[in-house]
C-alpha cells in the first residue's frame, strides 16, 4: 500500500462566502507555496467520572471540534497578500498614479529628494515607508523606473533611497512627469474592518486523499528577516471544522497555479529605525496577531462564531552596539519609526514587499557578552499612530504594508 509523501501534497485555499461553509463553486481556489503546512482537526474529550465497583472507566466521549494549522513559507511578493490583508482586516487597495507633475530630482546619494512644483504628496496618498517610481517624463534614464523608498515626506518634497543602491541624476524641473505607487497597500484600519474566512484543502495525490477544513481564519503572521538567507513568513490558522468527511476525491478542482514571484531577502532592501538607515542590524522579526475568541454552545459540537479582537504588532531586532542612540530610545521611552523594504532581486524595478511601523516603543536593550561584537536585543511594540491618516505622512495604524504584486 502506498503511503503519502509530502512532496506530492498540494494545499489549496479559497475565501468563503459564509463562515464555516465550504464554497459551493469548487473552481477558483489558489494553490499555496510553502516550506511546510499542516492543518488538523482536534476534539475536546470527556471521560466519565462515575464511581464503579469494577474500578474502571466506562465511557469517553468526543466534544467540541476545532481546527488548528500553520502555513510557513518564504516571503515573496503577491503570494501571501490576501492572507495578510485578512489578518489586518483590510483589503489591499491601489493608490492612483500622480500624473502631470513638474518634478525636480536633487541630491548625491544615498538619499535624494524628489520635489514637486505644486500640489501635495501628502494628499495624493504617499506615505513614509512606501516605494514609488518615476515612470514618465523626459527624465535621464538613470531616474526612470527605479524603486525609490520614501524615508521623509512633506507636501512638496519626498526624500528617497534607491533600493538597489544605484545613483539618481540631479535634474529638473521635468514637466508632465508621473509618480507611480507600485502594487497595492493595506494597514489595520480604525473602522470598516473586514472579517474573512477561508476553506483549505490538503490533497494527497499519491494516495488520492482529501481533507478540507472550513471556517479558517488567519490569527498570526510571523515575519523573520535573518541577516543572510531568505525572509520567511509563518501564518497561524484557527478554523471551525472539517468541512466534509475526508475522502478520495479532490474538492477544489483546477486550482490556480502557484505564484512564481521571487523570494525576498534581507540583503536586498533597506531597514530604517528612528529615521536612520541601519547597517548594523543582525536580525529582525515581528508578529502581527489578530485575536479571536468564541465559546462552545449547548447543542453544537463546533464553536459557532469567532469574534474579532485586537490586532497587535510586536517583535524585536538585534544590532551591534556602536553608540547610545538606540539604547537611549529605550532608556528615555522615546518612540521610533521602523520601516523596511525588501526586494526579490537587485534589479532597479524588482518586485518588493515593504512594512512600515511608524510608532514603535522599545521594551528592552539587553546586551550579550562575547569575545566578538557586542550585540543588543531590542524588543518592541508597535502602537496606533493616531496622528496619521489622510493628508499626513503616515497611516493612522500600527502597521502598513505595500506589496508590488498584490
Cell numbers placing 114: 524628489
179 confidence band (pLDDT: 50, 70, 90): very high
| Domain ranges, ordered by start, for the chain | 30-43+63-92+187-243+251-403, 98-182
Give me the mean pLDDT over the 183-207 stretch.
96
CA 367 to each of CA 27, 335, 364, 373: distance values in angstroms, whole numbers, following the listed order: 53, 20, 10, 11
How many CB atoms lie under 10 A from the CB of residue 81? 22
Cell numbers placing 290: 489578530
pLDDT tens digits along 121-149: 999 999 999 999 999 999 999 999 999 99
Looking at residue 300, what is its pLDDT?
Answer: 82
pTM: 0.94
pLDDT > 90: what percent of the chain? 83
pLDDT at 202 exceeding the cut of 90: yes
Looking at residue 340, what is its pLDDT?
Answer: 95
pLDDT at 303 exceeding the cut of 90: no
Cell numbers placing 390: 489622510
Instruction: Name which of 342, 42, 378, 86 is nearest 221 in CA terms.
Output: 86
Degrees, nearest 5: CA angle 183-186-191: 150
Instruction: Name which of 49, 73, 74, 76 is nearest 60 in CA terms.
Output: 49
82 confidence band (pLDDT: 50, 70, 90): very high
Give me the mean pLDDT over the 199-213 stretch.
95
What is the residue-averaged pLDDT of the chain? 94
Question: Under CATH, what is the fold of the domain 98-182?
Answer: Elongation Factor Tu (Ef-tu); domain 3 (2.40.30)
Looking at residue 228, what is its pLDDT?
Answer: 82
Amino acid at each position: 500500500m502506498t503511503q503519502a509523501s509530502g512532496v506530492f501534497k498540494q494545499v489549496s485555499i479559497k475565501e468563503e462566502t459564509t463562515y464555516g461553509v465550504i464554497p459551493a463553486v469548487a473552481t477558483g481556489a489558489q494553490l499555496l507555496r510553502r516550506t511546510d503546512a499542516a492543518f488538523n482537526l482536534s476534539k475536546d474529550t470527556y471521560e466519565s467520572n462515575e464511581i464503579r465497583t469494577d474500578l474502571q472507566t466506562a465511557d469517553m466521549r468526543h466534544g467540541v471540534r476545532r481546527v488548528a494549522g500553520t502555513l510557513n513559507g518564504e516571503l515573496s511578493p503577491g503570494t501571501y497578500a490576501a492572507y495578510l490583508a485578512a489578518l489586518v482586516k483590510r483589503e489591499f487597495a491601489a493608490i492612483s498614479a500622480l500624473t502631470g507633475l513638474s518634478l525636480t530630482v536633487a541630491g548625491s546619494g544615498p538619499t535624494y529628494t524628489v520635489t514637486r512644483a505644486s500640489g501635495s504628496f501628502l494628499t495624493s496618498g504617499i506615505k513614509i515607508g512606501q516605494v514609488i517610481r518615476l515612470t514618465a517624463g523626459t527624465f535621464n534614464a538613470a531616474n526612470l523606473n527605479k524603486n525609490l523608498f520614501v524615508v521623509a515626506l512633506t507636501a512638496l518634497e519626498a526624500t528617497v533611497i534607491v533600493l538597489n543602491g544605484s545613483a539618481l541624476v540631479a535634474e529638473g524641473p521635468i514637466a508632465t512627469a508621473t509618480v507611480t505607487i507600485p502594487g497595492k497597500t493595506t494597514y489595520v484600519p480604525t473602522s470598516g474592518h473586514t472579517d474573512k474566512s477561508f476553506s483549505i484543502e490538503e490533497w494527497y495525490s499519491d494516495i488520492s486523499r482529501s481533507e478540507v477544513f472550513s471556517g479558517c481564519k488567519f490569527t498570526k503572521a510571523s515575519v523573520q528577516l535573518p541577516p543572510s538567507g531568505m525572509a520567511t513568513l509563518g501564518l497561524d490558522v484557527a478554523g471551525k471544522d472539517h468541512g466534509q468527511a475526508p475522502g478520495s476525491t479532490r474538492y477544489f478542482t483546477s486550482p490556480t497555479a502557484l505564484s512564481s514571484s521571487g523570494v525576498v531577502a534581507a540583503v536586498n532592501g533597506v531597514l530604517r529605525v528612528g529615521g536612520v538607515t541601519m547597517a548594523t542590524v543582525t536580525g529582525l522579526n515581528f508578529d502581527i496577531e489578530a485575536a479571536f475568541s468564541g465559546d462552545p454552545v449547548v447543542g453544537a459540537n463546533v464553536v459557532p462564531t469567532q469574534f474579532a479582537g485586537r490586532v497587535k504588532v510586536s517583535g524585536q531586532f538585534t544590532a551591534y552596539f556602536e553608540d547610545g542612540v538606540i539604547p537611549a530610545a529605550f532608556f528615555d521611552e522615546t518612540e521610533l519609526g521602523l520601516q523596511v523594504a525588501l526586494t526579490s532581486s537587485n534589479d532597479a524595478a524588482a518586485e518588493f514587499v515593504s512594512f512600515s511601523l511608524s510608532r514603535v516603543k522599545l521594551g528592552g536593550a539587553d546586551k550579550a557578552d562575547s569575545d566578538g561584537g557586542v550585540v543588543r536585543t531590542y524588543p518592541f511594540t508597535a502602537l496606533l499612530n493616531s496622528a496619521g491618516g489622510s493628508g499626513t505622512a503616515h497611516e493612522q495604524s500600527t502597521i502598513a504594508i505595500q506589496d508590488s504584486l498584490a
